[in-house]
Amino acid sequence: MPLYNVTLKKDSPPEELEKAKDKARSQGGTIKHEYTLIKGFTVEYPDDQVNALESTDHIHVEQDGEITTQ
């Protein structure tokens, strides 16, 4: 399963992040890391279910990937 970074959008209430974690877990996701400097987490999530997480106005979801410099 791919990894996704989920972060709380600016000015969104903190409880929305908890709701996103609960939703991810209930749909087969596994929280791999919770951030302390930013409000967010990394979740291993089924590809066919990620749209459910993306459907909220309070969080931003992007697939985790390798970053390189040239």
| Superfamily covering domain 3-61 | Peptidase S8 propeptide/proteinase inhibitor I9 (3.30.70.80)
Mean predicted lDDT score pLDDT of the chain: 86
* Residues facing residue 40 across a β-bridge: 7
Contacts of 37 (CB under 8 A, 6+ apart): none
Tell me how far apart the alpha carbons of residues 58 and 6 are, in angstroms, rounded to a whole number.
Answer: 10
pTM here?
0.81
Q: Are 3 and 63 in contact (CB under 8 A)?
A: yes
Q: Are 9 and 59 in contact (CB under 8 A)?
A: yes
Q: What is the pLDDT of residues 3-18, one digit of tens each?
A: 989 999 999 999 999 9
